[in-house]
Structure 1
């Protein structure tokens, strides 16, 4: 892991992300690329009479950016800062590619479960379009995760994501609890059918994989979201990993309401990887 990208809007949420990224960077000897999206209007950019205003706003953003990054917890970490005139958060992926970032860390103010954390937010726009994993941080805390829950449908189309997520957790020295959530819907499978799907999936993993069918928990619940949170609570996980279907968004992955107990666990960091 060489570079971690952190979008910055000067809010407490982006500082939460910056703190988490700094802890990962120190552990992985990685660099941080902090990007601020200026979002100037086309008029300010194109009209000659407004060019001075645009230059002033750019200089002001750069000054504020430098002050924002003047933090003790960033000491010893190589920080790259860039200001882009992006107005939509989907363009963050372009910055990640430009700097060859392996991970994006973002803050979020969502407070009612994963659906509310992401759906309709700038965070979800990044999650939908990012070609690299996105780690979403909700609260200011030390990123000292030691146990993760990763849910998958164990279809062959998920192999690439599965390998990417497990490799990332391994690099971060985080134990992974693998999960399949079985639902009482049209997609319901018997235990035997689930085990057959999991076995077929594991056969297609890398030859050096040591994962066995019994390493994957089968948990029944009324929604994927409930199943993930309830299982995470059961095993005392510190972080949740989930796949997303790109532009279909996380709304495609999650459905249903969640209980008050589950809401409390939405404070866990969430790592998303696009299928």
Structure 2
């Protein structure tokens, strides 16, 4: 892990993410890439001109760099290598572009979550990024004066398609020297016997050269609740999941457990794209 991207709107939630990024960057000698997105209404854009030539864009770009300058005066960023990026696309497109351009290893975002009607109608920027990002996304809800991960829950159905995501989770766990707690949640609607679940998880885990893990089967009313309740029971520091990147009507009907966790879990959540 050498490059960390932190999207920021200069809010308290974004600064919580930056503080975690700063701790990881200092400990593992990483570079930090700050990203601010300027969204210009399409009706104001001349198709023959570029975003960056618009008077509004120039004003907001100068304002962003002024805010970057003020942000970098914080003591917790002293001595770190930090780059500034300003983009004019939608947030998930901007993050995809910057990740590809700079070969980013990890995206860290702040979120306070949304719920109820607001969540149903507009969702959240963080949720969109989790759904679409090819790069692992770590979502931070609160300020962490010391970001330390000892116990890392990785929830999955442990089918073959999740192996690539788990391999990335192992890499992250190795960097942090964390124990992974493999978790499958049994629900009334999707019940699988413990014996069958354990057999599947054992076969899955044996495909990797990694021994610092436990196997856990937890029963609950929903997968989301099971993950959060199990994580609470062992006082986990981090929850990890794979995400399918569903979009459009498929996403609306199928939902996404990883996005629900990003919105509702109190613990940090990291997602890995399948």
Same fold (TM over 0.5): yes
Q: Does 1:144 align with 2:148?
A: yes
* Distance verdict in 2 for CA 1:209–1:68, change over 3 Å: closer
1:163 — aligned with what?
167
2:137 — aligned with what?
134
CA RMSD of aligned residues (A): 2.9
- After TM superposition, the structure 1 = structure 2 runs for residues 64-143 of structure 1, keeping only pairs within 5 Å, are 64-110=67-113, 120-142=123-145, 143=147
- After TM superposition, the structure 1 = structure 2 runs for residues 201-212 of structure 1, keeping only pairs within 5 Å, are 201-203=204-206, 205-206=207-208, 208-210=209-211
Q: Does 1:20 align with 2:15?
A: no
Q: In the alignment, is the contact (CA less than 8 A) between 2:92 and 2:128 conserved in 1? A: yes
For normalisation by structure 2, the TM-score amounts to 0.85
For normalisation by structure 1, the TM-score amounts to 0.85
How many pairs does the alignment contain? 261
Moved more, 78-87 or 98-107: 78-87
- Counterpart CA distance in 2 for 1:69 and 1:211 is 37
1:96-140 deviation line (CA, Å, top 9, x unaligned): 111111000000011669xx6xx8110011111111110001111
* Distance verdict in 2 for CA 1:153–1:64, change over 3 Å: same
- Counterpart CA distance in 2 for 1:53 and 1:150 is 44
Moved over 4 A (4+): 44-48, 248-251
Q: In the alignment, is the contact (CA less than 8 A) between 2:31 and 2:81 conserved in 1? A: yes
Structure 1 unmatched ranges of 5 or more: none
1:64-88 deviation line (CA, Å, top 9, x unaligned): 2221232110112100111111234
- Counterpart CA distance in 2 for 1:192 and 1:52 is 64
SS of aligned partner of 2:171: helix
Structure 2 unmatched ranges of 5 or more: none
The structural deviation recorded for 1:44 is 5.0
